[in-house]
Chain A
Amino acid sequence: MLYLQALINGILMGGVYGVMALGLSLIFGVLNIINLAHGNLMVIGMYLSYLLFVLLGVDPHLSLFVTVFILFFIGFFIQRFILNPIIGAPEEMSVLITLGLGMIIQNILLMTFGPDYFTVDTSYKLSSLMLMGLSIDVAKIFTFGASLIITAVFFSFLQWTELGRAIRAASNNREAAMLAGINVKKIYCIAFAIGAATVGTAGSCVSTFIPTSQGAGILFTMTSFVVVIIGGVGNYLGALAGGLLIGIVEEFGAVLLSGSMKQVVSFGLLIIILLFRPEGLLGKRSEE
């Protein structure tokens, strides 16, 4: 029963992990940048939702329509003014830049909000659905539903819009995309912005059941990175599957190990995957 409970919780969490990873996977696939500020962008989303809830009483699942816009612009500006100028630099350098960016975001949040944890006390925060002896948090169900919708929107955008096609083209072959008349730099900005917006919505969703604090960013980054690598870079369906997998693994880890060591499991998983299957569990081996 305990394991069935963990399985269900894991699946529900996995939906959010999938959404987090979608953004990172897009950025990684299109720009070939490992964005270490990714989790910090998500934390911005969490704070925005918290603020909107406290000041205006907006439910986080509704305020994600606001966070999506704000993070879109933040992402756009980051790419336009910080990352675009260093296109072509060694990839370690761009990683270091995003790390610096993450530090700046985290500490600005620390300065503004202090080191405290904030919780969004929605009316359904503590209520849970009892189903055949299993208790399922209502907040997590809402979040799972929201993440499914976000994923669907994300997919249809990439698949069926002109802009989505351009982004996929730039991701596949930069030169060819340029020859086809695509303004690659602009596409980069938009891709990063969409990545940031996606992870921002994930932040809004999880703020209903994860306490908001500035220090969580690096862990979110790591989790989404593990998910991306498992699913294979640029493979968005893989990211979703990886999200579910990691969600389940983490919940089982929490059942078997003490809660505080959960992060160690994520980091350990990252090391093992990078060492032994850097192309991902579901990904194909690259030609290199």
Chain B
Amino acid sequence: MRNRIYTTIFFLILGILFLGAPLYVGGYVLEILIIALWLGYLGSCWNIIGGYAGQISLGHSTFVGLGAYTSTLLFSHLGATPWIGMFLGAIFAMAIGLFVGFLCFRFRVRGAYFLLITMAMAEIFRLCFEHIDFFGATVGLFIPTIKGPTAPLIFQFQQKWPFYLIILVMTAAILLITFLMERSKIGFYLKAIKGDEDAARCLGVSATRYKLLAMALSSFFIAFGGTFYAQYRMYIRPDLVMGIHFSVEIVLAPIIGGMGTLFGPILGAFLMVPLEELSWLLTDFLKHSFRMKGLIGLHLITYGVALILVIRFMPYGILGLLQRLKGPWASNEKFVRS
């Protein structure tokens, strides 16, 4: 009981701190917070299928891209507000997710083969979008800027703080959904499937159905992240929101923080983004002081190194490690990844 009160107070303070952030931090920090929350949001969506259901997908960049492209194309061609477009994009992404998921789960594709199929899907979508002029090809799409009092109606803001609040609410929402899912029957079924799918099937858990459900949830919600990115940057390009490298970026946060844990992806994202900023700073520094060219790939190298180190030394992520040590966080968590 006392534990629960402490937890509530802790989260209340944390919530207030986060809500009030635009009041006391500068533009640069706010930018970092937005990107970190965004990556945390994407990671949390991925976590539903990758962490809880244990189906490591490298195709989730496709869903982000579909979300971004659907809302952007609807806006620039039909004038539909992205607030509606994001839902259409999410439904579209979910349809693709269900289709791929159905094929994979129907044919009992598991483990590394599922990863490879989703990876190939991500690359196919990226290549197709890069070759079709309607999608802006390799140049990308710019979103027409509209200033004035009606701008918020079409998901455009002049300042950063509305974006910050939007992504904060989105992150809180996905955390709530994940929390409820974790506590429900679905969460337990998914954990059973992840632990031993054949055993779960024997006990009467319809593994295919629940994996599809997890796929649908995660592809639906992750597409919102795509629309958010498009409206925040006002520019999208296939290699920014699609493809294998972006998939790795999505997967990295949950892996660092701990797959299948509620707060893992967020924690991972908040560690990842400063790392990326640092590598950009280093790139700039080397560029200006040593006139070195072509250090563009440094942040991807950092990601690769982080991926290898985390899997090597902390295969369950930071929160997973803490849970295993039965620290104060472990009290709520009965089932630790087997």
Chain A residues with a Cβ under 8 A of chain B = 34, 82, 85-86, 89-93, 95-97, 99-104, 106-108, 110-115, 218, 222, 225, 260-261, 263-264, 267-268, 270-271, 274-276, 278
Contact = CB atoms under 8 A, between A and B. Distances in A.
A197 B107 CA distance: 35
B209 interface: no
Interface in B294-330: 294-298, 300-301, 303-308, 311-312, 315
Nearest to B295: A111
14 contacts: A86-B311, A93-B315, A95-B115, A96-B251, A103-B301, A104-B308, A110-B296, A111-B295, A111-B296, A267-B121, A271-B121, A274-B109, A275-B117, A276-B107
Interface stretch (B78-86, B89-97, B122-130, B148-156): B122-130
Given A107-B297, A110-B294, A111-B296, A92 B112 contact: yes
Given A108-B297, A111-B297, A92 B115 contact: yes
Interface of B: 56, 58, 103-104, 107, 109, 111-113, 115-117, 120-121, 123-124, 127-128, 131, 244-245, 248, 251, 255, 293-298, 300-301, 303-308, 311-312, 315
Given A264-B124, A275-B107, A100 B297 contact: no
A150 B117 CA distance: 31
Contacts of A96: 56, 115, 251, 255, 307, 311
A181 B179 CA distance: 51
Interface-central residue, A34, A95, A115, by most chain B CB under 10 Å: A95
A274 B114 CA distance: 9
A112 B300 CA distance: 14
A106 B131 CA distance: 23
A101 B300 CA distance: 11
Contacts of B123: 218, 222, 263, 267
B120 A97 contact: no
Contact of B131 (A89, A260, A275, A278): A260
Given A106-B297, A107-B297, A267-B120, 15 more contacts: A91-B111, A92-B112, A95-B112, A100-B248, A100-B308, A102-B304, A103-B304, A104-B300, A115-B296, A218-B244, A261-B131, A263-B123, A267-B127, A270-B120, A275-B103
A274 B311 contact: no
Nearest to B308: A100
A113 B312 CA distance: 29
Contacts of A90: 111
Contacts of B308: 82, 97, 100-101, 104
A271 B304 contact: no
A103 B296 contact: no
Contacts of A86: 311-312, 315
